[in-house]
Amino acid sequence: MINSALLSLVQTPPLMVPLRFFLTAPLFGLLFALLLLFASGNPIDLRWDPVTLAMVHALVLGYLSMIMLGAVQQLLPVLLGAQVVQAERVATYLHFIYTLGVVALLIGFAQQSRAALQLALLLLSVAVILFALFTWWSILRSPSRNATAMAFLFSTLSLMITLIMAWITLLRYQFIVPSASVLTDIHLGWGLLGWGMLLIIGVAYQVVPMFQVTAEYPRWFRRWLLPLLLLELLLFTVSKMTSLPILQYSLFSLLLQLLPAALTALFAGITLTLQQRRKRRLADVSLRFWRVAMISLLIASVGWIVVELSLQGGLSEAQGAWWQVRLFLLLLFGVFFSVVSGMLFKIVPFLIWLHLNNSCQQHGAYQGDTPVMGRYIPAYAMQWQYRLQLLALMVLLLAALLLPQLLPLAALLWGGVFVLQEGLMLQALKHYRDFINVLRTTDHGQKTVQG
């Protein structure tokens, strides 16, 4: 009995391994909301303003990547059967170094401080290398060679390339906050499409069928989508950084702009179809978040294709950039943040249940008494989070497209989203600690009686 408990625990990293990342992320989200609330001017149209860059990185590094780093460490053993080594130690160092790096980066951008930017890149490099080595080592030791393993491999590689591009960009600009360039385009491409989208696709391959009891993604699609997207990113990078004649044809260049959007639209379409035909009729909050994400992805992808084609047909560069920034907002807030919420509301309660159940076994208590998932984050609270997040998304998009005077309201709503998310996770953790305390007291009491 004890052996099996230990083995099971080996397969599941300690609760705080992912949770410390999940609990830190909304704090950066809140920082973004505050920066947006007190921003002077319209940050959406001041893309290269240092404070805007700080806001964007608070979201993509402080919030989104923070959660992704925690999730990968949790999902490696669960989805790939990888035996992770030193999970607690790696998570502690990674979380500390990465968080410091993000804080230094935000200060570097906002204060336009070279020293802070240099420190930030050093810290983030150490964190990313540590994370990549940990992930690749775990995948190598995993017997699983499926598309999700491929996604974890490719997305971690993309994260490293994103960081390398950040180094190249800042070295080129001598650590002065950069403006639009080919280098920043490449950096953005690897960050969003490589690190972000490849990971979402790999996770979706497993969790969409698992959570909603749908059919699996078609085999041809699973096999080809990830390598195609990676190849596309590589060709895009080479075409921008070199002058190889074949890559400079305008038709080829247009294809490189359109292909990823066409592929992500296909991914969104297939996911929505699978969910529509699911066997499980219950439409829980997680499913709703995934649907919002996939509808947003479909709109963002098709929108990207329309903008790129319009640029060929006479749309000015400035108008094109105006639309692209809006599509970027939809991708970030509509796609990535919805998937994150949809995942957190499944993962966090389940992990707490799993760890409590294992603790019961270790303490010799009856495991049937472990409260099930719905007790840690109640369904009605998740519903409120969903409604608030959807409203915040709508108001932000409305502010970006038509009514910039709504931006402060969007900032307040998103601030509310992050506060609520943090509060719900802390409440779940409190339930966990209360239950553990009861177990320990009971256990201690039993031992005292026996003694």
CA neighbours within 13 Å on the CB side: how many for 447? 9
Burial, 246: exposed, middle or buried (Cβ in 10 Å; 0-12, 13-18, 19+)?
A: exposed
Cβ nearer to another protein, comparing 171 with 283: 283
State the binding string over 231-270 for another protein (x if CB under 8 A, else -).
----------------------------------------
CA 335 to centroid of chain Cα atoms: 10
Buried b / exposed e over 394-422, threshold 16 CB at 10 Å, is: ebbbebbeeebebbebbbbbbbbbbbbbb
Q: Does 211 bind another protein (CB under 8 A)?
A: yes
Q: Which of residues 128-157 bind another protein (CB under 8 A)?
A: 143-144, 146
Which of 276, 279, 314, 317 binds another protein (CB under 8 A)? It is 279
Q: Which of 5, 18, 80, 6 lies closest to 352 in space, CA to CA?
A: 18
Q: Which of 74, 75, 122 lies closest to 98 in space, CA to CA?
A: 122
- The enclosing H or E element of 349 equals helix 337-362
Q: Which of residues 18-47 bind another protein (CB under 8 A)?
A: none
Cβ nearer to another protein, comparing 72 with 300: 72
Report the 3 state secondary structure along 162-201.
Answer: HHHHHHHHHHHCCCCCCCCCHHHHHHHHHHHHHHHHHHHH
Total residues contacting another protein by CB under 8 A comes to 36
How far is it, in rounded angstroms, from Cα 91 to Cα 321?
39
Which of 15, 51, 80, 400 binds another protein (CB under 8 A)? It is 80
Whole-angstrom CA distances from 50 to 53, 106, 329 are 5, 9, 18
Q: Which of 87, 221, 234, 86 lies closest to 154 in space, CA to CA?
A: 234
How far is it, in rounded angstroms, from Cα 337 to Cα 343?
10
CB of 276 to another protein, least distance (A): 14
Q: Does 436 bind another protein (CB under 8 A)?
A: no
Q: Does 7 bind another protein (CB under 8 A)?
A: yes
Which of 79, 106, 200, 225 binds another protein (CB under 8 A)? It is 79
Which of 346, 393, 415, 418 binds another protein (CB under 8 A)? It is 346
Cβ nearer to another protein, comparing 190 with 205: 205
Which of 85, 180, 372, 401 binds another protein (CB under 8 A)? It is 372
Q: Does 222 bind another protein (CB under 8 A)?
A: no
List CB contacts of 229: < 8 A, sequence separation 6 or more. Answer: 154, 193, 194, 197, 198, 201, 260, 263
Q: Does 383 bind another protein (CB under 8 A)?
A: no
Q: Does 8 bind another protein (CB under 8 A)?
A: yes
Q: CA torsion angle for 12, 13, 14, 18 (degrees, to 10)?
A: -120
The answer to whether the CB of 256 falls within 8 A of the CB of 305 is no
Cβ nearer to another protein, comparing 172 with 280: 280
Q: Using the rule CB under 8 A, give the single segment among 75-83, 96-104, 191-199, 333-341 that binds another protein.
A: 75-83
Cβ nearer to another protein, comparing 291 with 375: 375
Q: Which of 2, 7, 10, 8 lies closest to 86 in space, CA to CA?
A: 10
Which of 281, 317, 402, 405 binds another protein (CB under 8 A)? It is 281
Q: Does 364 bind another protein (CB under 8 A)?
A: no
Which of 132, 266, 373, 436 binds another protein (CB under 8 A)? It is 373
Which of 46, 78, 270, 398 binds another protein (CB under 8 A)? It is 78
Cβ nearer to another protein, comparing 105 with 150: 150
Q: What residues make contact with another protein under the rule CB under 8 A?
A: 3-5, 7-8, 11, 78-81, 143-144, 146, 206-207, 210-211, 213, 278-282, 284, 346, 349-350, 353-354, 357, 367-368, 372-375
